Structure 1
Amino acid sequence: MPPYADDQGPARIPPGRSGNAALPGRPWLVLAMLLLVYIFNFLDRQILGILAQPIKADLALTDTQLGALGGFAFALLFSVLGVPLALLADRTSRSWVVTLSLVVWSAFTGLCGLATGFWQLFAFRLGVGVGEAGGVAPSHALISDYFPPEKRARALSIYALGIPFGLAAGAMLGGYIANAVEWRVAFVAVGIAGIAVAPLFKFFVRDVAHRRPTAGHPPVAQVFRILAAKRSFWLMALAASSSSLVGYGLAFWIPSILMRSFGFDLITTSQYVGSLLLIGGGAGVLLGGWLADRLGRRDRGAYAKLPIIAWLAAVPLFGAALLSPSPAIAWAFFLLPNGLNILWLGPVTTAVQHLVPPAMRATASASFLLINNLIGLGLGSLVMGAMSDAMHLRFGEDALRYSAVAALIFYLLAAALMLFAVRPLRRDWVEEKAA
């Protein structure tokens, strides 16, 4: 069982574990640093969404091209390289893999500010994806190393706050910097900031165990065989992918929808989107983790049931918000589903961690993220952008709004797939034994 410190006393350290992990409060310090890095992860993604309209005008891009930059360009190598980098993290140092990944993706984010055309910006977004491929799965594994099972969903949900916080920071910082100077400076500024955080992160975050590169680690094929044999893995991965297709698409395109449908300027859009993400998104992520830990003690199937309820409730609320004629009414309808659409993060990422033994966790997370990101991140903004271009002659500036409404059907698909995962998850769950 991994070492951890909790409110009842000092951490327990099995033989061979690093004493550094037992320092009082270290699990929460590690979690705080991982959260900071994850905020940069999503800040670097969302900054393209808030700056989509200035970039479109400057580089003469279509909505389809913008959608490709927001999803496919990033997701292509991000998804594929996640598995080998997670395997490297499992076999060497999880903290070092996260640190170097932060440096790489921040550097390419800065380079995006130097792009002069679509293909150059596409190449730099590929680079951002390469860097971020090594960030999430090793972080999931580090959290599982530091926190016990009964607190793991809450810890992973706190980590997942990086999504709404990062998206909000990307919207607000990107909007303010671009308004004060220009969109290129915004990319350079956040890239430099990420590189500056990297040495601080490595100073505070250490691996729980001193691992040898080849000792005590199962081959990657074994991890794949274990996951492939579990129906719950495939159903949860495909359900999350369907949800992410809508979630990532909305995150990228809502700023543009507000500008086109309500005539917002860049600052108003950044404030509007940022407030929704901070309030609604933050509450939804934390609620998902708290409920999963509470209900999951009695029924492991609760980790799948919670996302179903959230997705079904999000559909009519998002629909009402997107079709609202008033920005004030739209804000009220947007608030709740901005939390519901990411409530699944804590429960599902925790469940994936419990489909395999501890030594396989980073690789298991990366396998899950491979499917989720190829489908959800890769297609979300691209599909909505392509539908918008296709409907533009008929609906004009409202075409993007209607394409977002049409995409909400994927939340219903996500709920149906997750429903079939409830019973297999109870059977597939790997319970941890006390040390």
Structure 2
Amino acid sequence: MSSTMLEATKEPSRLYRGWVLFALFIVYMFNFIDRQIMGILAAPIIKELQLTDSEFGWLIGTAFGLFYASLAVPIAWFADRYSRVWIITLSFGVWSLFTAGCGIAGNYWQIFAARLGVGVGEAGGAAPAYSLLSDYFPPRQRARALALYSCAIPIGSAFGVLFGGLIAAAINWRIAFVVIGMSGVILAPIFRLVVRDPVRSAYEVIKAPAAPFMDVLRTVGRKPSFFFLSFAASSGSLLGYGLIGWLPTFFQRSHGMTLREAAIFYSSILLLGGIGGIWLGGWLGDRLGAARKSAYALIPAAAAFLSAPLFFVAIASTSQVTSFLLFLVPQALSLVWLGPVIAAVQHLVPATMRSTASAIFLLINNMIGLCVGPFFFGRVSDLLKPSYGAESLRYAFLIGLGFYVLSSLLFWLASRRLDRDWYRPAG
């Protein structure tokens, strides 16, 4: 069925735009609940399935990220041509069903296969949503809308850590997967009923059919800022995904917390620090980016540069109270990039290329950040165990902080080309 038959022709009201943003936020929140629940459940899973840190790193990173990253591009190609709402709905149902499947896995390879399925489903979540929001909100409001949408990342991650940890502590880790996964299966058809596709390119002067994939690839290939942004975000995400996957285990091993204590402790950090950082990035992006396009990259460059030493002090601390306070600020700074960078990617290409361009950006980001990050820290932890024992994760984190320095440098390089590469429609 043609997407034009499914798209609404009536101008959406401000109230309805807010409702769509809320609905997409809920779906994206479940995306990260299902994605990050593995981190808090690491200890009981490792114990029951008798895994090494490296094997669990493959499970939380590579098993999920492999199909999640690679399938995002072809799914986004469809999203530029067909109903984005249907694609998100089907994706939501698939990843939720496989999340529930993790709870009935009998061995390592069964849960590995279930995580592959979660990745397949979640591949259709983000890029079509970015495109929807760009058609519901005018350019002057996009960074804030995308930042609000991206607040689902810390909220979903926090809820995944909190609810997953509390359910596992009260019952067991398998029930946590089943309860959270089946909740998404129930919500998926409701999303389809309440959200409609908007008219594409509503805020652009030129309207055209969706561009062929190779045209999108050639377009971004001529824009160095796209790749600087992509690899800068990837470097930061490598450390970010590694931290979010392993910090609950670190708090249990190095700070002696119980599963329940680690769930409450870390979910609070994710919630408070994450929301503040994402909103700050979106606000600064809209405020400073209107006058100077390079600000969309300079803001995350400064945030990444400041994050490294602050995380170093937080990770090195042996006090739980001090660690909590010290983690809040760099946790916020580590997510400042989301609003400005995602908005910048939307503006580097015409509206007919946004879903596909976003998917290429996410492919690079997730192939490096998600597929490599959790495994990297698990592997380094295993290598350091003979020397540092239970403290091996602490030193693995300290080594990995260099990725934030690299991220800052790449964002700065992106800022030098961003204005030149910005897409400006004729007319």
**TM-score, normalised to structure 2's length?**
0.95
Give the Cα separation in 2 of the matches to 1:109 and 1:17: 31
Aligned to 1:101: 91
Alignment of 1:249 with 2:242, yes or no, is: yes
The change in CA–CA distance for 1:265 and 1:24 in structure 2 (over 3 A counts) is same
Q: CA deviation at 1:216?
A: 1.6
1:8 corresponds in structure 2 to none
1:127 to 113, 117, 120: 117
Task: Say yes or no: does 1:66 pair with 2:56.
Answer: yes
Which residue number corresponds to residue 51 of structure 1?
A: 41
Report 1:126-275 matches (<5 A).
Answer: 126-209=116-199, 216-275=209-268
CA distance in 2 between counterparts of 1:382 and 1:433 reads 46
CA distance in 2, matches of 1:432, 1:274: 43
Tell me how far apart the structure 1 counterparts of residues 420 and 200 of structure 2 sit (CA, whole Å): 33
Aligned twin of 2:81: 91
Structure 1 stretches of at least 4 aligned residues deviating more than 6 Å after TM superposition: none
CA–CA distance in structure 2, aligned partners of residues 78 and 90 of structure 1: 18
1:21/1:206 contact within 8 Å kept: no
Structure 2 alignment gaps of length 5 or more: 1-5, 202-207
Which residue of structure 1 aligns with residue 30 of structure 2? 40
**Counterparts of 1:432 and 1:271, CA distance in 2:** 49
Aligned pairs, number:
417
User: CA separation in 1, counterparts of 2:210 and 2:148?
Assistant: 28
C-alpha contact 1:321 1:330 (8 A) present in aligned 2: yes
Deviations 1:82-124 (CA, angstroms, capped at 9, x unpaired): 0000111110011110010000000000000011211111111
Aligned alpha-carbon RMSD (Å): 1.5
Structure-1 separation of matches of 2:376 and 2:210:
40
Structure 2: distance between partners of 1:349 and 1:186: 32
Superposed displacement of residue 21, structure 1? 4.8
1:409 matched residue in structure 2? 402
Task: Establish whether residue 295 from structure 1 lines up as the match of residue 288 from structure 2.
Answer: yes
d(CA) in 2 for partners of 1:365 and 1:302? 20
One-letter identity of the residue aligned with 1:118: Y
Cα separation, 2, equivalents of 1:376 and 1:334: 20
Name the residue aligned to 1:431: 424
8 Å Cα contact 1:21/1:207 also seen in 2: no
Maintained 8 Å contact 2:7/2:83 = no
Q: Deviations over 1:226-267 (max 9, x none)?
A: 011110011110000000000000000000000000110011
Whole-angstrom distance in 1 between the partners of 2:11 and 2:39: 38
Determine helix, strand or coil for the equivalent of 1:420: helix
CA distance in 2, matches of 1:40, 1:185: 17
1:165-205 per-position Cα deviation (integer Å, ceiling 9, x unaligned): 01100010001111111000000011100111111211121
Matched, 1:378 2:378: no
Residue in 1 that maps onto 2:12? 22
Q: Give the C-alpha shift of residue 20 in structure 1.
A: 4.6
* Counterpart check, 1:112 vs 2:102: yes
1:357 partner letter: P
Are 2:7 and 2:197, in contact at CA under 8 Å, matched by a contact in 1? no
The residue number in structure 1 matching 2:272 is: 279
Which residue identity lines up with residue 239 of structure 1 in the other structure?
A
Find the partner of 1:418 among 389, 411, 415.
411
Asked if 1:311 corresponds to 2:304, the answer is: yes
Deviation sequence 1:11-50 (CA, Å, 0-9, x none): xxxxx97235524411111000001001000000111000
Displacement of 1:210 in angstroms is 8.1
**SS of residue in 2 equivalent to 1:105:** helix
**1:5 paired residue number:** none
2:234·2:364 contact (CA, 8 Å) conserved in 1? yes
Indicate conservation of the 8 Å contact 2:72/2:124, yes or no.
yes
> Which residue of structure 1 aligns with residue 3 of structure 2?
none
| Cα displacement (A) at 1:432 | 5.3
1:337 to 330, 339, 364: 330
Q: Percent identity?
A: 48
- Contact 2:12–2:136 at 8 Å: present in 1 too? no
Distance in 1 separating the partners of 2:169 and 2:114: 23
Matching residue's letter, 1:193: S
For 1:169 and 1:312, locate their aligned partners in 2 and report how far apart those are by CA, in whole Å: 28
Structure 1 position 431, deviation (Å): 3.1
Kindly provide the CA deviation profile for residues 290-317 of structure 1, in whole angstroms up to 9, marking residues without a partner as x.
0000000100000000001101111111
AA at the equivalent of 1:380: G
| CA deviation profile, 1:346-381 (whole Å, cap 9, x unmatched) | 000000001110011110100000000000001111
In structure 2, how many angstroms separate the alpha carbons of the residues matched to 1:24 and 1:410? 41
The aligned residue for residue 204 of structure 2 is: none
DSSP-derived class of the 1:95 partner = helix
In structure 1, what residue type is equivalent to 2:403?
F
